[in-house]
Structures are given as structure tokens and as C-alpha cells.
Structure 1
Amino acid sequence: MTPGDFLALCLNVGFGLIMLSLVLAFVRLAKGPSFSDRVVALDMMSVSIVAFCALYAIKTGVSSFVDIAIVVALIGFLATVALARFAERGIHRNRHLSDISPADVVATQTKGAQRADQGDKS
């Protein structure tokens, strides 16, 4: 086996594994079950696309695919950070709402109803 044949074999195996990772990440993206699972799946897909671009650049010898890989990596990273911040804000918002007990909600509604009744009497 010559070094060229070995490189071709490694590239083909690499392409196959990257395609498998893209399929599995897409399944995780579709099934979920949570928002954070979908964010991780999108990040995995962007990493797989970067790896695909890098392997394709090696196979064809066209260096512009390396530039594409860098841009995709940057966009994927920024998207992951933005979605993580979005998910974190949602968690804090839900945590804030869960700090209110049902008794507090009933007491607030009762006070509001009493004020409305007092306003009608005057």
C-alpha cells in the first residue's frame, strides 16, 4: 500500500464517519427532547461540517475550503453561545416564576378583588 492509497483510504473513512455523525446529530436535533439537546446537536453539526470542509480541502487541494471551514466554525461558535445565553435567560425567568408560591398568588388575587370591591362601594 502506497502512502497515496493510505491517504485516500483515510479520507474515505473520514468522510463516512463525518456523514454518520451528521445523521446522528440530525436525529438528535429532530427528537430533542430538550432545547439544550437541540443546541448541542446544532453545535455538533457545525463541527462536522467544518471537519468535512477540511477533509475536502485535503482531498482536492483547494485551500479556499479551509477559509469556508473557518467561517463555519466561527458562525457555529457564536450561534452556540447565543443559544446558550437564550436558554439561560429562560431558566432564570422560569426559576423566578417558580419562587412565587401558590399561596402568594392567591393572596395577591384576593387583595386585588378586595380593592375592586371597595372601589365599587364608594
Structure 2
Amino acid sequence: MKYTKEQRLDIGHRIYDGEITKYEAARQYGISSSTARDYMRMYRDENQLSPKKGPQLFREKKLIQERTKSEPHNLEAYESMSKDELIQELIKARIAEARLKKGYEVKGDGSVIRYSSKNTK
């Protein structure tokens, strides 16, 4: 099917905003998934928006949220720490963030490593 530029931009907008995936758009509009991706890119370029990482970004945010739920820290806990303890907590947080970016998380003493599905083959 042929779509007008406005229709293509509308399809691209729905994909970019996460309303539908490019695969759902392909089924719904009778186009290929690569064409749906092209429509999303056309919308993004037309509106000068930045690229999105999609599901990978969502997974990383979910892992970070799980980590913060398992180790609740509040302001009072930080206020009672010394400068050295605060520096150690900051270092731990940065290490955990770097590991999450690479796709794994270490539990406990480091003997248990949990890999995200994006880096496993």
C-alpha cells in the first residue's frame, strides 16, 4: 500500500512514542518492518528528535529500578555517614552503573553474576 507523507509520519510517530512496535505497525499497515522503521526515522528526522534505544533502554532502566528497590537508601542514612563512607557508596553506585551498561549485575560477594538477555547469545 502507498501512504501519504502525513500518514507515514503518523505511523512513525506512533512507533517513536512506543504506542506500537515496528512489527505491530508492519502487520497493521501491511508494510515490512524495515519500512516501518524507515517511517519512524523519517518522523524523528523531520522533528529533529534524538534516536531512542527502545527495549534495551527499557531493560536497563528496569534493572536499575530493581537494584534500588533491593537496596533502599534514604536521606537520613546518607546524612549519618562519614565522608569516607559516602565516597565508598558513590564508588559502589558508579561500578554498578557501569556493570549494568555492559549487561551484567553482581550479587552479594561477587560470586553470583546475573547477565541481561541483551549480551547473551
TM-score for the superposition, normalised by structure 2: 0.29
> Relative contact order, CA 8 A, sep 6+: which one is greater?
1
Judging by fraction of residues, say which structure has more strand: 2
